[in-house]
Chain A
Amino acid sequence: QKEVEQDPGPLSVPEGAIVSLNCTYSNSAFQYFMWYRQYSRKGPELLMYTYSSGNKEDGRFTAQVDKSSKYISLFIRDSQPSDSATYLCAMHNAGNMLTFGGGTRLMVKP
């Protein structure tokens, strides 16, 4: 079993839809959770960074962490074609390096 699981997609939605992207993980020691966005032929860019459980909102993006279920989510409201990219979740605890999910490819159609 992989330490971090992420559905590779592709996930195709119409413009304006609410998008939900998810990761599950097996290591209960993870405390720091990140979402990266990667456009085609570019490096990943940090989108959201959260510590422990709870929600964090930034514009149209909301990151949610449920440590009891070992489940994290990224919600995108009013999705735009420019949101089309691969979204990578990543996580670690204080003693270890980042562990990445495999990424979910999102396509937002006009």
Chain B
Amino acid sequence: ETGVTQTPRHLVMGMTNKKSLKCEQHLGHNAMYWYKQSAKKPLELMFVYSLEERVENNSVPSRFSPECPNSSHLFLHLHTLQPEDSALYLCASSQTYRGGTEAFFGQGTRLTVV
């Protein structure tokens, strides 16, 4: 186990559904991240939280809504998604969000939008 746990591992949802992805880290880190990984594309940083405050939002469509209730938990709320949103969604954590520390990843949620 990496210390970062994501649920569910797989999710199939229709375009009108609402669902949430959950991430929990047991490493005592202060920063948490959501990344999107599509086939044959580099990792795309979506959101960054540091001590429960959002510090980065990389022009992500509003149909993705993050929530960080505390430094150990991170959610990604999904609604009215499009088929092109199908991807592997990865959560990561690090000691801080600014340089010098490595990021640890969860196993990801494989999302399919039908």
Q: Is the CB of B98 within 8 A of A94?
A: yes
Complex Cα gap A103–B44 (Å): 12
List residues of chain A with CB within 8 A of the CB of B102.
32, 34, 46, 49
B43:A94 contact, CB within 8 angstroms: no
Question: How many A-B contacts if CB must be within 8 Å?
Answer: 55
Contact B108 A43 (CB under 8 A): yes
The residue that B104 contacts in the complex, of A8, A46, A88, A96, with Cβ under 8 A, is: A46
Contact of A103 among B42, B48, B99, B103 (CB under 8 A): B42
Let me know if B90 is at the binding interface, CB within 8 A.
yes
User: Does any Cβ of B come within 8 Å of A31's Cβ?
Assistant: yes
Choose from A31, A34, A97 the contact partner of B48 (Cβ within 8 Å).
Answer: A97
A90 surroundings in chain B (CB, below 8 A): 103
Which residues of B sit under 8 angstroms from A103, Cβ to Cβ? Answer: 42
Chain A facing B: main interface SS: loop
Fill in one digit per residue for B75-97: 1 if any A CB lies within 8 Å of its CB, else 0.
Answer: 00000000000001010100001
Q: How many residues of A contact B (CB 8 A)?
A: 25
B112 contacts A by Cβ under 8 Å: no
The interface bits of chain A over 80-110 (1 if a CB of B lies within 8 angstroms of the residue's CB, else 0) are 0000000010101111111011110000000
| Residues in B neighbouring A60, C-beta threshold 8 A | none
Interface residues of B in 27-63 (CB under 8 A from A): 40-43, 45, 48, 56
Which B residues are CB-close (under 8 A) to A36? Answer: 105
A8 to B42, CA, bound (A): 10
Could you say which residues of chain B place their CB within 8 Å of the CB of A102? 41-42
Q: A43-B106, A43-B107 given as contacts; is B100 within 8 A of A94 (CB)?
A: yes
B22 contacts A by Cβ under 8 Å: no
Other-chain contact of B45, A34, A46, A97 (Cβ < 8 Å)? A97
Interfacial residues, chain B to chain A (CB-CB below 8 A): 2, 4, 6, 40-43, 45, 48, 56, 88, 90, 92, 97-100, 102-108, 110
Q: Lowest 8 CB-CB distances: which A-B pairs, in order? A: A43-B105, A94-B99, A102-B42, A100-B43, A43-B107, A43-B108, A44-B105, A92-B99
